[in-house]
Structure 1
Amino acid sequence: MTLQRDEGLTTEELTVWRMLQRAQVHITRHLETELLVAHCLPLASYDVLTQLSEAPGRRLRMNDLAGRVLLSRSGLTRLIDRLQRDGLVGREACASDARGLFAVLTDRGAARLAEATPTYLRGIRSEFLDRLGSGEISLIREMLAKLAITDAP
């Protein structure tokens, strides 16, 4: 028995699914490598710094941040520990919730993000955007919106 027969998928459908997975992994690995080589900054760390930089007051509750960067609460806690040791992020208590904590982007973290962003954007350009023709970006956006993958407006 084949997977497509057992689960009702055609060969084409399964192929497209696998292509999507491989494309995402390829682009992510490229970005990770470029950020590590040029800035000693893992992609997950870059993502955390970006989310904090875009938040009001450069801070987010840990639970909200975990959802935005697609990490478990414990995974985010370990990552924030490392970023705090490096002076890129701080923690602040939440005044309205004694158990709540905010992750806060430090000036050093903002500077590190600013240094790494051109590398990140070049990677997106070379591994994704430059491979697409005119009109394909809009088409991809429409397709991803149908899958509810993006929170972008």
Structure 2
Amino acid sequence: MVQQRRHRLGFDDVEAHAWVQFESVAIALHGLVNRALQHHHQLSLADVQLLTHLKSHGPSPMGALAEMLMVTPSALTQQIQRLERRRLVDREASSDDGRRVLATITRDGLRLTAASLETYARVVRTHFLDELSRNQMIALGDGCRRISARLKAADPPGEPSDSQ
């Protein structure tokens, strides 16, 4: 089945192997981290990403958060409401522009973020980093950095990407 998929994608064997392995690992690791965060903290990976952003950047406009998390505004509103019910975030009108709503992390949110980041790091270390040498980590990190820079340049915010 993997051989058929490689052929359909139009990649040579090396390209197909690299892509299929990357995709497989990314999906599996994402699922593993998400399940661990749900089990230990009743938070999704997206929740932890949101809380970590608020911890690092302070009160943030809802629109910017939706863009950063790559979700629709309504999906973000539902996520924020869920986190508000747990007293992990608050929403308030911006002092600069009362029409803008800002999300802010609470003290409980800060505590739970710290604990969830410990779980996140443990799972990533155990199932990803421990499998790589330092040189492999550096090479992988550099490759991903270059790919990320190219993706950002190809898909400016607010514009749909083209399939080439």
Interval containing the TM-score (normalised by the shorter chain): 0.7 to 0.9
Matches of 1:4 and 1:30 in 2, distance apart?
A: 25
Report whether the alignment pairs 1:17 with 2:19.
Answer: yes
Work out the number of aligned pairs and report it.
148
> Following superposition of structure 1 onto structure 2, how do residues 42-53 of structure 1 map, counting pairs within 5 Å?
42-53=44-55
How far 1:102 moved relative to its partner?
0.8
- Alpha-carbon distance between aligned partners in 2 of 1:47 and 1:4, rounded to the nearest angstrom: 33
Spell out, residue by residue over 1:7-59, the C-alpha distance to the aligned partner (whole angstroms, 9 max, x if none).
6421331232121111111111111111111112221111111111111xx21
Name the residue aligned to 1:132. Answer: 132
Q: Is the 8 A contact 1:51 1:68 kept in 2?
A: no
Cα distance between partner residues in 2 of 1:80 and 1:6: 40
- Superposition TM-score, scaled by structure 1 size: 0.85
User: Structure 2: where are the runs of 5+ without partners?
Assistant: 153-164
Measured on the aligned residues, the alpha-carbon RMSD in Å equals 2.2
Q: SS of the counterpart of 1:98?
A: coil
Q: Deviation of residue 6 (structure 1)?
A: 6.6
Q: Where do residues 2-13 of structure 1 align in structure 2 (5 Å cutoff)?
A: 8-13=10-15
* Percent identity between the two aligned chains: 27
Q: Which has the higher strand share?
A: 1
The gaps in structure 1 that reach 5 residues or longer are none
Q: State the TM-score, normalized to the length of structure 2.
A: 0.80
Would the aligned equivalents of 1:46 and 1:113 in 2 still touch at CA under 8 Å? Answer: yes
Distance 2:148 2:47 in 1: 24
